[in-house]
């Protein structure tokens, strides 16, 4: 098992460029000047991840009205992300990180407790990034259900 570095509020957000569900390259730098909600989820089309992704979908309009852009990241292939987006009407970018480089940079991959067993895997995490590219909030080990409501409350949206 590997140790992982955790990001804290005020630190520079690790830069990245990844393909989205349409194969289009998306970079964090593309969103400079905007606030971003970046959420890491374990696997597209699983029950918990679907709940979380759909909660973000249902909150996209108020979040965007408050000046936030939503981006999801998983290790899923672009083709699976396209199916996920089509199946559940997800219109925000879903980014593919199969090599887990961005997961590791954000501390969203490592040891976790899964039903009483310590395993290595994706750690459901959300980061709020300010317009200057700094971490405003780093939320690790979040639960899929109710998480988006918690984020909205934290941001006053």
For residue 55 the two structure tokens come to: 């909660």
Identify the H or E element spanning 84: helix 78-88
User: What is the length of the chain?
Assistant: 157
62-67: Cβ within 8 A, 24+ apart: 62/152, 62/157, 63/37, 63/152, 63/155, 63/157, 66/155, 66/156, 66/157, 67/34, 67/35
User: Residues 44, 49, 90, 108: which is the catalytic one?
Assistant: 49
54 in active site:
no
Which residues participate in catalysis according to the annotation? 49
């Amino acid at each position: 098992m590997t140790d992982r570095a955790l990001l804290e509020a005020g630190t520079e957000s690790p830069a990245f460029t990844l393909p989205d569900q349409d194969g289009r390259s998306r970079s964090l730098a593309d969103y400079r000047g905007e606030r971003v909600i970046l959420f890491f989820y374990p696997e597209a089309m699983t029950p918990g991840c679907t709940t979380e992704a759909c909660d973000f979908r249902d909150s996209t309009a108020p979040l965007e009205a408050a000046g936030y852009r939503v981006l999801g990241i998983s290790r899923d292939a672009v083709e699976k992300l396209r199916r996920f987006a089509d199946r559940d009407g997800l219109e925000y970018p879903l980014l593919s990180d199969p090599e887990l480089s961005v997961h590791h940079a954000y501390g969203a991959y490592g040891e976790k407790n899964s039903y009483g067993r310590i395993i290595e895997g994706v750690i459901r995490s959300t980061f709020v990034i300010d317009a200057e590219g700094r971490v405003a909030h780093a939320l690790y080990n979040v639960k899929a259900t109710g998480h988006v409501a918690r984020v909205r409350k934290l941001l006053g949206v």
